[in-house]
Amino acid sequence: MTALAGARVLVTGGSSGIGLATARRLRRRGAVLTLSASRPGPLSEVAAALGADWVAADLGSPDGLEQLLRRARADSPDVVVHAAGIGLARRADETSTEEALRLLRVNVLAALAISAVVLPAMRSRRHGHLVFLGSVAGALGVADEAVYSASKAALAAYAGAVGLEGRAHGIRVTSVLPGAVDTPFFVRRGRPYGRTFPRAVSADHVAERIVSAVEHDRGEVVVPAWLRVPIVLRAIAPGTYARLAGRLG
C-alpha cells in the first residue's frame, strides 16, 4: 500500500470537479497538497480551505505550463494527480485547428510535460505515483466529441507506457476512466449532460476510487465499474459494439 500521510501531492485542475473532490480526500488522508488551476480566485479560496499551496497556471499556454513545471521540479512530488482537462462538444469537421490544439495542450501535453519533470526524482528515490484522469470516451470514442475522445485515448496510451517503464523503479501509474460525472465540465464544454442513462456519478465517488487506487496500487479504474462491459465488447466485437452504439447513442 502507498501511505498518503505526509506525502507531497500535486493536483492539477484542483479548484473544481474531480480535482477538488480528490484534493479534499487526499487532505483527509494527511497529504501535503499543491493545487493548480487556471482561475486564481477560486483556486486561492480552495487552497486556503484545505491548507494547501497553489499555483495559478493556464496549461493551455506555454508560459502557464512553464510556471507549473518549475514548481513541480522544485517540489518533487510523491504523487501527481493529472485532473486538469477541458471538453469540446463538437463534430470532427466542425472543430477548428485552434480548438483542437488548445484541447490537446491542456488534456495531453501538459500531463506529459509534468510527468517528464517529476519522473527522474521518482526513479531516483524508487517511489512515486502518477494518476491520469482519462475518460471512457478515450476507450470507446464518442460521437460529437472526436477531438476530446482522441485526447483521452492518447492519455491512456501514455499512462500505460509510463507504467511499464516505471514499474521496475517503484513508480506506479493509475489510469482513471470515468463516464459521465456531475460537475461543471459539461456546461463548460458547450453542451450540458442531458441523458437520464447512464446516470452521472458524483465527483466525490470518482475521487474515492482515485485515492483508493493510489493507496492500493491499482493500474486502471473504470467508474462506474459496469462501463467496463462496453469497453470489453468494443475490444472483442467492434462491429457489434458499433451497431449497438449507433442504435443506443
Q: Which residues are known catalytic residues? A: 148
What's 168's DSSP letter?
Answer: G
Amino acid at site 185 = F
How many CB atoms lie under 10 A from the CB of residue 76? 16
Among candidate residues 130, 163, 175, the one with its CA nearest the CA of residue 11 = 130
Q: For residue 133, what are the β-bridge partners?
A: 176
Counts for the chain of helices (H) and strands (E), in that order: 11, 9
Q: Which three cell numbers stand for residue 193?
A: 449532460
Which distant-in-sequence residues (6+ apart) come within 8 Å of 149 by Cβ? 135, 137, 138, 140, 141, 142
